[in-house]
Structures are given as structure tokens and as C-alpha cells.
Chain A
């Protein structure tokens, strides 16, 4: 049985780094300039990839009887390649028409404006946070970053060198291997290999099929990809989500970000107090969809919740610009759909967090005289409606799955 081929590593780099990055360039082109960074492009590109895979996979699953996975791979590859090429063109365009400082630094700022220092108009903006916006780190912060990176490296090496047994792999990993080896999508029982009707309960979460897509595209055995390659990659993804949370949490004390990451890393390693904790799933079952809901989607939700409640200048959410509001709702929509992409239980979790996390601040925002009462009520209704509308795809999916499974 072939483990991998000579081209697997460059193809893995292509599908897990290059394509998400350029896809993210397209997505972040509509975002405020402060979100146009390399990391933001990568993470939003990944989210966009997950969101796009769900309808493609579901369509193939429900309408194609034979070789549905083969069609899914071809269609999805085309979609992602188009987006990646578009992103590359946009990036080249930014480099060509750049204005500002010459040289490498000027090029970087033209490509990724989010790394730029504030302009004079930013400094003069009434919404600017005047307390602290200094991103320079001292010696101790550098040491903490190094400690965090060391812990991450240890976790990555352990993920590759050690096997984490879990009985659910007999289902989820086998679904991926089946898709890659037989071009079927949830029509063969993973446990035994007998044919079955479409398993709607699990089929709505197409994460296992996405991993099969990566395995097929990179010519690597699906189980090898999941257990050996994906685990460090997913750890990095989740820690980046925590990094985003930290940047929002400590907007006035950015020197605390490395320390926060160190604590998160230690909590993750020492959170194995039972088989049920999020930390146990994160470290031992990283590749499973429900673990990704707990360790990737939930931190992203907190990142968005913090962004919603905590404005740059400490002013309330009613004063966000239209671009910022659209960005927030769009990201929330992508995160919600990604939750159902990872696991059907993700639907329930993100619904609860959206309802409570956005509903409570909106409903309990009192009038303080900074806007007209009518305007405040209008803002509330729009925000509640926007938050609710980001849940519509999940609710529709859940309802469809429930109906189809009866």
C-alpha cells in the first residue's frame, strides 16, 4: 500500500498553504485594511475553502450515484484554483500599483497593508485607542514567544512520533480512506465495508471528505495524512485562532499575548483530566471534526465576539463603520458554516454561542446619549437580524438532514 509519493510534500504545501493563502487574499480584499495580513489571508482562505467544500460535497453526494467523490474532487479543485489564481492576480496588482515607501518594506506594506503603522489620519481619528497601540515586544516577551514556539514544536513532534488511539477513528478515518480508495461518500459502512443508504447524520459534516480530497490531491494515504501530517498543521491552525483571541483580549497590553499563548499551550497539554475535555480532544483527536469545533471554531467565535463588543477606541458596537460591520457578519457566517462542516454538533454549539454571545450585548446595550434612541434601536434590530441570518445555513442544513434521515 502506497504511503506517499515523491510529489506529496510540494503538493501538501500547495494545497495547505498556497491555495488557502491566495484564496484569503480574495476574501480579505473586502475587509478593512488592518485585516490585510498574511495570517488573516491564510485563516480566511481556509475558512472559505471549508465553506465552499460543503455545498460541492453535498451536491455530489445527493445527486451522483457512482464515483461521486471523483466529481467532487474535480469540481472543488477547479473552484479553488480559480480563487487562488484570482488572489495571485490581486496580489500582483497591489505590487504593481503600489504607492508609498520604496524597497522591500514598501512592497510588504503595499501587499499587506495590515502591517503598516498608523497614518496621520488614523492618529487623528476620534475612534483611535490613545492608551496603547505599541506592538514592540521586549526581551521577556520574546522569551515567552520562544517558550511557546518550543512547546508547539514539542507537541508537533509528539503528534508525529506518537500514536493516539481512539475508537472513533474506525469510523472517521475510514470514511476518508473509503472516499479516496473507492470514490464513495458515506454509502459504505466504514466499520464493516457493506453498502448502506446515505448516512445523513454524519454526511452533513464533510470534513472527513475534505481530508480525503487533500489525500487524493497530494497522492498520500488518507490515514497517513490524518495521523501524521494534518495533526501538526491543525495544531498550528488552532493556536493561530488563540493568537487572534489574545490580540483582541490584550489590545491595551499586547505584551501579554505571548504569555497567554504559553498558558494556553500548558492548559492544552495538561487538560487531559478526562476523556471529555476540549483539551483532550485537541491533543489526542485533533483530526476529528468535533475536536476542531472545540479548538478552532469556538476560539474563532470568541475572537468575533470580542471584536463585536470591544471596539478599537473602546466605543460601542453602534459606532462601527459599515465595512467593519459587514466584515464581522461575513466572518461569523463563514465560521458558522465551518462549524457544520466539521461536525453536526457544531451547529448546536455555534447557534448557542451566537444567540448568547451576540444577543446579550445587543439586547442589554443601554442608551447613553451618544446616539439617538431611534438609531440605537435600529442598530439593535439590524445586528440581531444579521447575527440570526448567519445561522440560517446551519439551521437549514440541520433541518434538511433531519428530514432526509426520516
Chain B
């Protein structure tokens, strides 16, 4: 039971990231529980979230969750039922409404509840949080698809020409990991030798093993595997560590982009 509790604890810690954000939330929760006048608001923003957290950390609940969903890694979504953003925002507004009127000093009250408190709360949220636009996964979009421009260039080169009324043509290609996420977001006529699941979940795929998980690519061995799998195109990074020139192994250079060379696989099944 303790071990299961610790699993939930780890998920909670990972969810919270920086402790300051969680502390800010709990401070807001306590403030709402103490100062809110309406018991319905206390119920929704204080007692209900605490109940959800209690259930979240309850070991038998995790056992049931994993049994039902087969994957305990998504348990963090239950924490979405804890309205952290709404609670902190409501607490900030509540603080502004609680500024008392003192005599005729209306101007000071106005400054306090209209400027000082909102600015202070905003600064606190910014200090305790982390700006999403500084995340390294946020990059300038190169095109309306929001995928690397070179992925589009590679896809445009290897995609088959479709003839209306003639049935949909497809090609199979083996591409490096950094292109796997994007090629099919652009054009689904390109069938990939291995997909994102191989990379993300570390499944076994022979082509991926030969292409990405080796110090030096055995080009002739790779050619055999690609041919057997019916792959038509091989996309290699220009600086990919190969043991021999692909041309010597029968690959025909089909096209090039700035970072990639595109080869036709020798003797592929459809050829």
C-alpha cells in the first residue's frame, strides 16, 4: 500500500513541477476556505478538490484505476478536477473584494483593490509559475502546418502523383526519427517503415534498429531489410554514419534537401 501511495505521490510531484506553484494553489485554497462567504463556493473550490486529492492518493483507488485503464501513467488527469487556476484566480478576486472601506478614504481603497492587489497577485502567479512561451518545445512556425519545412520538402519529393479516379497510390519510406512525427501530418500517402510508437515506447523494429540504434549503419544489410519490407525510399541525414557509400550498395540517389539525401531502395518489391 505504501508503495502504491508513493507512486501517486511521485505523479503528484511531477504534475506540480515547481513546488512554488503548488504552494500558491494551497494558499489560495485555504484563503477561499476561510474567507469565502458562500458555502457553495467553499464546497466547489475547497472541499471538493480536497476530496479529489484524498481519492487520488488513496492506494486502492490507484489499483482500480490501473486495472480499469491498464495504464497508471494517465492518472495525473484526475488532478485536472482540482481547479488550480480557477481557485488562484478566485482567491485573487476575493482578496480585492475584502479590502475594507475606511472612512472617506475612497481613493486609497480604490488604489488598493483595483491596482495594488491585482498587480501583486499577478506578480505572484508569474513568480510561482513558468511562462509557456519559454518552453524549448515552442519554436517559430516555418509554415502553416507548423511542422519543419524540410519535412514538407522531403514529403513532396517522395509522395506519389495521384491520378483522379485511378485509386490512391502510396509509397513506403524509411525516414529518420526527427521526421517520423511530421511526414504523415502532411501527407498520409507516405507509409512509414516505422512510426512514432517505436521511438516513444522503445518497441523493436528491425529497420529502426539498423538505422538509428547503431554506431555505424550497415548499408548493405539495411538494403536487404528495406527490400524485404517493400520500402521504396530511404531518407538519410547527410552526416549519417554509414559504413559504405549507399551508391555502392545499390541505392540510387533520388533527390537531396539541405539536411537529407533521399535514395531509392535497390530492387524494392514494387519496382
Contacts and interface: CB of A to CB of B under 8 A. Distances in A.
A357 B45 CA distance: 11
Interface in B199-224: 200
Interface stretch (A9-17, A107-115, A122-130, A270-278): A270-278
**A interface, size bucket:** 35 or more
Interface string B1-23: 00000000000001111100100
B141 A163 contact: yes
B122 interface: yes
Contacts of A169: 181, 185
B186 A1 contact: yes
Contacts of B86: 242, 245, 264, 299, 302
A24 B86 CA distance: 27
B192 interface: yes
Contacts of B44: 302, 305-306, 309, 357
A306 B139 CA distance: 39
A73 B90 CA distance: 42
Contacts of B51: 356
A277 B76 CA distance: 8
Given A192-B195, A361-B43, A170 B17 contact: no
Contacts of A174: 184-185, 188
Interface in B99-134: 110, 114, 118, 121-122, 125-126, 128-134
B48 to A, nearest CB: 6
B161 interface: no
B52 A163 contact: no
Interface in B157-187: 159, 168, 170, 180-182, 184-187
Interface string A297-323: 011001001100110000000000000
B244 interface: no
Given A259-B96, A263-B118, 13 more contacts: A1-B152, A3-B144, A163-B138, A165-B138, A177-B186, A190-B184, A223-B185, A224-B144, A227-B144, A267-B88, A272-B130, A309-B40, A348-B78
Interface of B: 14-18, 21, 38, 40-41, 43-44, 48, 51-52, 74, 76-81, 83-86, 88-90, 92-93, 96-97, 110, 114, 118, 121-122, 125-126, 128-135, 137-142, 144-147, 152, 155-156, 159, 168, 170, 180-182, 184-198, 200
Interface of A: 1, 3-4, 140, 144, 158, 160-167, 169-171, 173-174, 177-178, 181-182, 188-194, 221, 223-224, 227-228, 242, 245, 249-250, 253, 256, 259-260, 262-264, 266-274, 276-280, 283-284, 290, 293-294, 298-299, 302, 305-306, 309-310, 345, 348-349, 352-353, 356-357, 360-361
